[in-house]
């Protein structure tokens, strides 16, 4: 990636992990498009944090399940910054409950956001990312090690891990790498829904004796997004402090 100024779109950029990714990539010199679904205030805060550090960022709203809105998200990035070099498909949702208690609405929501949304983002990214760019999916350690109450969520994340491998073979001729990052238990983030007992248990599973922090995930994404990640593609990178070993 030889451009002096590069542009990154981060879906779900208003969330804890997404916000950390936005801030880290801004530190790396990227112009950032902070995508949000419903929390505009959080997206505004991320943009302001980036600006206060001397970086450039804009916020952009889109329903990731709507192909027209995703198309407009990329058009917004191109209009503001001239093109797109890195796309981080981070937007996701989770409902934890046993399969026998899950509603069809809950099932549809996770499939729509986690799988359809990631596909639609990848669909536009595959057409628009400039040569030698990066496409990075944010998956979950639960894709590899599903737990009770996570059947559907785990399945959607395993699906995008497989998608990344296939896309890496399709986009490699343009020098574009495609990888998937599997965070472990990370706070702040969606894991906070699991409660204090789960937090203690997962912290104890890591040899470091703690949970992950969004910055831990952002550092891995930063590596994959930069020049140092040019020879990694089609990989699933587990970033969990060794808790799932």
- What is the per-residue pLDDT across 28-41, written as a single tens digit (0 to 9) for each? 999 999 999 999 99
Instruction: Please indicate whether residue 191 or residue 149 has the higher confidence score (pLDDT).
Output: 149
Per-residue pLDDT averaged across 177-204, rounded?
A: 79
Per-residue pLDDT averaged across 92-115, rounded?
A: 96
Q: What's the pLDDT at 2? A: 41
Q: Report, as residue numbers or ranges, the catalytic residues.
A: 153
Question: 């916000």: which residue's tokens?
Answer: 19
SS percent in the chain: helix, strand, coil, step 5: 50, 20, 30
Q: What's the pLDDT at 49? A: 98
pTM for the whole structure: 0.93
Residues 107, 90: Cα–Cα separation, whole Å:
19
The strand pairing partners of 186, in sequence order, are 212
CA-based end-to-end distance of the chain: 34
Q: What are phi and psi of 144, to 5 degrees?
A: -90, -35
């Amino acid at each position: 990636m030889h451009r002096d100024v590069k542009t990154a779109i981060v879906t779900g950029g208003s969330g804890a992990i997404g916000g950390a990714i936005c801030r880290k990539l801004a530190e790396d010199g990227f112009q950032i498009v902070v995508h949000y679904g419903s929390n505009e205030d959080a997206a505004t805060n991320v943009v302001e944090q980036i600006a206060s550090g001397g970086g450039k960022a804009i916020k952009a709203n889109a329903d990731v399940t709507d192909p027209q809105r995703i198309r407009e998200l990329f058009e917004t990035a191109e209009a503001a910054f001239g093109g797109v070099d890195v796309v981080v498909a981070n937007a996701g949702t989770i409902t934890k409950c046993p399969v026998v208690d899950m509603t069809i609405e809950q099932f549809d929501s996770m499939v729509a956001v986690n799988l359809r949304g990631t596909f639609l983002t990848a669909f536009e990214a595959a057409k628009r990312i400039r040569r030698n760019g990066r496409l990075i999916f944010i998956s979950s350690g639960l894709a590899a090690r599903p737990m009770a109450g996570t059947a559907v969520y785990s399945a959607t994340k395993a699906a995008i891990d497989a998608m990344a491998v296939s896309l890496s073979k399709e986009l490699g001729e343009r020098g574009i790498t495609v990888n998937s990052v599997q965070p472990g238990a990370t706070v702040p983030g969606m894991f906070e829904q699991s409660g204090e007992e789960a937090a203690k248990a997962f912290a104890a599973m890591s040899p470091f004796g703690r949970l992950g922090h969004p910055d831990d995930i952002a550092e891995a994404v930063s590596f994959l997004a930069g020049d140092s990640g040019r020879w990694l593609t089609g990989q699933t990178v587990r970033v969990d402090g060794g808790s799932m070993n």
